[in-house]
Structure 1
C-alpha cells in the first residue's frame, strides 16, 4: 500500500507502517524514534506542517523510500491496549469492499478522543446518595402524579449510594428528577473512578415463553459453535427481545463470552438497555451511540475492549467495537435503512456484522417483523436459518385491526377524517392512548401563494422550505438553511400566503382545538433536540401522563406502550408511486412497524390509515398482515427487472458548485468503465432526484452486475484510475457499493 519504487532500502531500525486519517489509500513509513511500539498502538507523527494521530499496522526493516527521508514518530501512547488483529482485518475488508481509504476507515471507527493528539481521558462517574435533608423526606412529600420522581426517590437507599447503571434500571428517565433532588438539597453526587460493575438489582423473572419462542431459543442455542446466520421473523409484539435475552443468558453463561446487540437508531437504545439490565443484571452492559458524550463513548469503548463489558448495545458504528471474546451478534430491526452509512465509508452495518460473525465462526441473529428483501431471499433459499414468531407474546394481546379510510370519499377537516377523530375521542373517554403518525415535522410542508402558486424554495437544494410557525421560520430539512417567514410573495407581491399541507406542529395545534382536554405530546426531531428529551417523553407516556402522541418515524418502531390502542396514519400516498424501487418495501415496513404499536397488552388495538388508494396491493397485504405474500410479489418484480437481490449495484456519486465538471467526470468514468469490463452494465450518468443539495450540483453513475465478484473486480480497477483523473480533486466524489438511496 506504500508508493511504488524500484528498490527497497534496508534499515537497522524498525520502520513503522502507519495508517493515517487522510484521503490517500496507502500506509506511511516512519522510524520508531526509539519508542517501543506494538502493532495496533496509537502514535503521533509529523505529517506535513502538522501533527496527526495514526495507528501502527505493521513493522518492517525495509522501506520503499530512502531511510534518511523517513521521519521518526513524535510519541506513542504506550499505556493503552493496542487494537487487535480482528479489528484491523475487518476494517481492511470494509475499506476494500466499499472502496474507501484504509487509514480513514480505521481511524473513523475509533472514539473521537482516540483520534486526537493529546492523551484520551474517560468521562467522570458519580455515585448518588441522600443528604441529611433527603433522609428526613418521605415519598408522601412528592405529588402523587409525579410517578417518575416517586419511583427514583424510592430507589435511593437511606444508607449507601446508587450509580448511573442502577438508576437506569429504575427508569431510563432518571436524570431529570434526580437533578431536581440535587437542586433541592436532597441528594448529593460523589465522583468515583470510572469503571463497570454488576447490577445491584435482582433479576426480573423471565416470562414463560410460548411454543414458537421456545423453539427459536432452542434452535439457536443448539448451534452456537460455528457461523450460522438466523432470520428471526416475528410479528410486532411477538417477543423477539425476550428471545434475544434468553439466548444471551445461555451463550454467556459460565462467566465467559461477550455479545454485540445492534439497534438501528439512538432512540431505541435506552429502552432496550433498560430491559436488558433488569432481566440480565449479572452481565455488565454498556451502550455505544452518538448521543453519548465523547468521554462516555471512550469509557464504554474501553470497557468493551477490555472484556469487562459482557453485552454491548449500540448503533451502526458499534459493529466495529473491539470485543475480544465475542460469541454472538444480534441485529435488531435488521431491515432498517439506518444501518447504512450515507457518508464517509458507506458501509451497511448488518452486512458487516455478517462478515464479522463469519470470520469469528459465531452465530448471528437478524430480527425483524418486515425483513429486508435480501434477507428474506437468503432465508427462502436456505442460506440462513429461518425462525418465525406468529403470535403476540402477551397471551391476551391480539394483532390490531387495520382499516383504510378512503380520503376521496370523506370530507377532511384540517387533514383529519371524521372517523379518525371519533376513534380518538372514544379512546380519550376510556382513558386509553392514541398515536398519530405523520412523517413530516414542522407546521406545514410548504408556504403557497394563492395568486401565482409560488412555493417557498430552498436556494441551496432542489426542495421546498418547511413552515415552522411557532418559531416564525422557514427551514430546509435537507441542508438546515432557515429564514424568516416572508409576508408577501416575492414573485407577484401578493400578501395572501398560506401554509399548505400538514406537519407535526400543525397536527398538534389542530388536535388541541378539537380536544382541549387531551394531553398531547409531539415527538419529532425538533422536540427532542435536548439530550435525554426523548427518554423523558417516553417515560411520560409510560406513566400515562399523555393521551395523544403525535410523531414521526421516531415512534414507529421498537417502543412498547401497553395503554396505546389506536394508531392513525395521516398521509402515506406519496411513497406509493416513487421512482425509487425500494420505496414500497420501506413503506410497508414502516406501516407494519407503526401499526404494531397498537394493542400490545390485553386491550384490542386498531389502526386507521388515511389514503386515496385503499385498494392498493400494499394496503391489501397490510390489512391481512401478510408480509410473506407481499415480499414474494416484490421479489417477483425484482427478478423481472434484475434489481437486488438478483443483481448487485454500485453508484458513483459526484457533486460540485457547477454541474459541468460533475458531468465531465461521470462521463469519463462511464467510458473508462466500459473499457474495463463487459460483465457489468454501465448506465449513462444522470441527475438524482435531489439534483441540488446544500448548494452543490449533483450527478451519479449507476453500475449493475449479476455477480458480486464482477462488480468488485471492476471497482478495484476503476477507482484507482479515477483518483488520478484531472477533476478528481476539484469535485467531491465517492463510490456507494450496495446503495439504498438513489
Structure 2
C-alpha cells in the first residue's frame, strides 16, 4: 500500500478546479495542511483534501506518473472540517472554484500562494541559569531576569546594556517566535442597561428557541437593538462559547469594539480591511488559539477560525457592504447563516431597514420576526422634505435650501452638531463643453471623470484612472467648460464660505485613505472638535452621537435615477438610516431632506419612518417585474476584447441550455470597464438550486467548448448596471 493525498492546487481558475493525486512518502500530513508540490513544472502551494492508502498496483496502473509532495508548510492543521464544508458551500453557491474560496477565507500571510508573505518574527531573551556577574547594573539585570524569564529583546535592551555579555556567559539565550497580537487585560466593565419591555420581550423570544434559528430584529433607529444582542452575547460567553459581531463599515467597528470591550471587560479581536496583512494574521491567530472569545469585524471576519461559536450577529444586515464584489461573489449573510447552522447556534440579523429578502422570509415565518417600534428616548426626529423644484423657481441655491441653511445656523448658535449627507464624493461629477457638448470621459471606462478640486485632477471612480484637470475641451479646444452637479468636496468648500465660524470635517473615500482615519474623525466629532460632519453613505448608519440634532440630506432622491431594480430600496434605506442619526439623546432631533421628487413613496415612507407601507408598495413592483424576493437572479457577464466573439460564445453556451424553469433575458452590452468589453445575460428562477445548477451548466459549456470569453458570475447580485 502507498500513502497518497488528494491536493487542491493554488490556482483559482475553474479549468483546474479539482484535487490532484500526490504521494505522501515520509511526511506526516493531515487534511487541511499546506504543502509544496510540483505542478506543470512549477513549485506551487497546495492544500491537502484527503490522505489515504492506495494499492501500489493501482498507483502504477495510472496513465500518468504520480509525483511526491515536495515539502510541508504547516506543522498543524490550518483548515478544519468546517472550513472545508464552508468552502464547498461557497463554491457551489457562488459557482466558483474551491481554491478561490480557500483564498478568500484565509488572511494574506496564510493564503496558499507561491509568493506567500513572510510572517513577522520577534526575538525573545530566555533566562537559562545563574552565573556570577560583576557590577551593580548586571546584578540588577540578573535579578530582573529571574522575575521575568522571558522578555522581548527590545524591552530588555531598553533597560540594560549587558545582553551580549549574558549570552556569552550562558545566562540567557535568544529565541525567535512569531509576532503575537497583544491581548489587552481590561479591568473595567460596564453594567448592563435595564431593558425596556419591548426589548425584554425580543430577548426572551430569541432565547426561547434552542439551537440554530435565524432571528430578524427589526427596530427603528435608536430603539436599543445593540443592547439586546449584547445581553444575549453575555449569556453565550458565560457558557464558554464564542461570539461574532459583524458590522458593514470600518467606521462602525471602533464604536462596536468600544461598547463590547466596556461591557464585557474582555479583549476583542478586530478584523477589517484597514488592518495591514501582519495585523490580520495576528488577529486570526488570537481566535485560532482561543485567546479571545469575541470578534468584531466587517465582511471577511465571517471566516475567522471559530470552533465553539455560540452566537452570530449581523448588524445593519441590509447593507450592500456585506456583498463581495469579486470572485467568489459571496454574501456575508449567507455564510453567516450557514456557519450558525453548522454550529447549531442562533444568528440575529438586525436593522432599522431590513432587506426585502430578509423581511419577506420573516413575514412568511422562515425567520423569527422581532420588532421594536419606538426609540428608547421615545422622541423620533421631526422630518421635513424640501421641494427643490419649488426652491429653484425662486432662484434659491441648488446646493442648500434656505430651510436647511437656517436650520444649520440655529444649531451652531445652540452649540449643537450637524450631519450633512451627500452620497457623491469629489467636487463635481461632470465637466461638459458648452460649445460642442463633449463630456470628459475615462479612456478605459465608459463613464464621465469626476473633478477633484483639491488635487486639481479628473478621477475615474471605477478604475482610479486620473489626469490633470485642464478646463479646455479636448474635442473643439473651447474654454467654455461648465461643471455639472456637486460632490462632498464642493459642499465642504461651500460650508466653509457660508459658515466661517463652523468647524467642518469631511468623511468620504478620498479623506479616509489613511489608516484609522475613520476612528479618529468620528472620535473627534463625538468630542465636539467639529460642528458639521459632511460625508457620503459611510456616515449614514450606526453613529450614536447625542449632540447631533440636525441631519441634512442633500439630493435625497438622487439614487432613484439609477436604472436598477433596487434603486428605490437603496434610497429608502439611506434616508431612514441617515435620519436616525438625529436626536439620539434627550434633545429633539430634526431632519431636512432636499428632493426633486418629494411625493415619491420612498421619500414619503422615509419621512414617516414607515417601513411597512414601503415594504408593501415595493413588493408590488418586485412581483410585477419578477425580481427578488419573488425570484432569484444570476448575472453572467461575458468579457472579451471583441464583442462579436462574446456573442458567439454566448450562443455556444445557450444553444443546448435545457432548464425550462430558468428564464434567461436577452444579452445586453454594458459600458466598457478597464478597457474590457462586456455583455451580460440575466437568468431568473423561483428555485435557487435550479438556478445555480443552470449556471454551473453554462460555466461547464464555456470550458468544454474552450470559448475565448471570460465569464464573471454573480448569484443574487445586489445591483444591475
Correspondence 1:15 to 2:5: yes
CA distance in 2, matches of 1:524, 1:619: 24
In the alignment, is residue 250 of structure 1 matched against residue 232 of structure 2? no
Distance in 2 between residues matched to 1:369 and 1:230, nearest whole Å: 14
Unaligned runs of 5+ in 1: 1-10, 127-159, 161-190
Give CA deviations for 1:632-682 in whole Å, capped at 9, x if unaligned: 211122223221111111111122223222222223323332xx2212112
- 1:105-144 deviations in whole A, cap 9, x for unaligned? 1133111111255685257799xxxxxxxxxxxxxxxxxx
Residue matched to 2:33: 41
Secondary structure (helix, strand or coil) at the match of 2:273 reads coil
1:89–1:83 distance in 2 versus 1, CA, 3 Å = same
Question: For the structure 1 residues 603 and 683, does the alpha-carbon distance in structure 2 shift closer, same or farther, using more than 3 Å as the test?
Answer: same
Which residue in 2 is equivalent to 1:685? Answer: 667
- What is the alpha-carbon distance in structure 2 between the residues aligned to residue 662 and residue 603 of structure 1? 59
Work out the CA distance in 2 between the residues paired with 1:272 and 1:124: 31
CA distance in 2, matches of 1:629, 1:297: 43
Aligned to 1:400: 381
Contact 2:308 2:343 in 1 (8 A): no
Give the whole-Å Cα distance in 1 for the aligned partners of 2:271 and 2:705.
39
Measure the CA separation in 1 of the matches of 2:608 and 2:241: 42
Q: How many Å separate the matches in 1 of 2:83 and 2:178?
A: 31
- Equivalent residues of 2:269, 2:292 under 8 A apart: yes
Q: Which of 419, 437, 440 pairs up with 1:456?
A: 440
Asked if 1:203 corresponds to 2:189, the answer is yes
**Structure 1 range deviating more: 548-557 or 718-727:** 718-727
Aligned match of 1:145: none
Q: TM-score, normalised by structure 2?
A: 0.88
1:99-498 alignment, distance < 5 Å: 99-115=95-111, 116-117=113-114, 121=119, 194-195=180-181, 197=183, 199-223=185-209, 225-254=210-239, 256-282=240-266, 284-393=267-376, 395=377, 398-410=379-391, 411-413=395-397, 415-498=399-482
Cα RMSD for the two superposed structures = 2.2
On the 8 A contact 2:121/2:178 being kept in 1, the answer is: no
Q: How many residues of Structure 1 are paired with residues of Structure 2 in the alignment?
A: 658
Q: State the match for 1:700 in structure 2.
A: 680
Match of 1:133 in 2: none
8 Å contact 2:472–2:479 — kept in the other structure?
Answer: yes
Offset from partner CA, 1:657-716 (integer Å, 9 cap, x none):
23222222223323332xx2212112221123xx11111111111111122232133233
Q: Distance in 2 between matches of 1:470 and 1:658?
A: 38
Deviations 1:309-332 (A, max 9, x none): 211122222222220011111111
TM-score by length of 1: 0.85
Cα distance between partner residues in 1 of 2:396 and 2:446: 30
Q: What SS does structure 2 have at the residue aligned with 1:408?
A: helix
1:28-63 deviation per Cα after TM superposition (whole angstroms, max 9, x unaligned) = 222114110011111122223432222111113347
Asked if the contact 1:196–1:309 (Cα under 8 Å) also holds between the matched residues in 2, the reply is no
- Which of 17, 26, 32 is 2:18 aligned to? 26
For structure 2, the 5+ residue unaligned runs are: 125-147, 149-176
- Structure showing greater radius of gyration is 2
In the alignment, structure 1 residue 98 sits paired with structure 2 residue 73: no
Give the equivalent residue in structure 2 for 1:57. 49
Q: Deviations over 1:595-640 (max 9, x none)?
A: 1111111111111111111111112211211111111211122223
**Structure 1 pair 192/122, CA: closer, same or farther in 2 (3 Å)?**
closer
Shift of 1:371: 0.4
3-state SS in 2 of match to 1:252: helix
Report the secondary structure of 2:621's partner residue.
helix
How far residue 514 of structure 1 moved from its aligned partner, in angstroms, is 0.8
Deviation readout 1:527-562 (Å, 9 max, x if unpaired): 111111121111110110101111001101111121
Q: Distance in 1 between matches of 2:443 and 2:194?
A: 58
Residue matched to 2:71: 75
Alignment check: 8 A CA contact 2:33 2:77 kept? yes
Cα separation, partners in 2 of 1:559 and 1:125, compared to 1, 3 Å: farther
Q: Whole-Å Cα distance in 1 between the matches of residues 178 and 409 of structure 2?
A: 51
Give the Cα separation in 2 of the matches to 1:510 and 1:96: 51
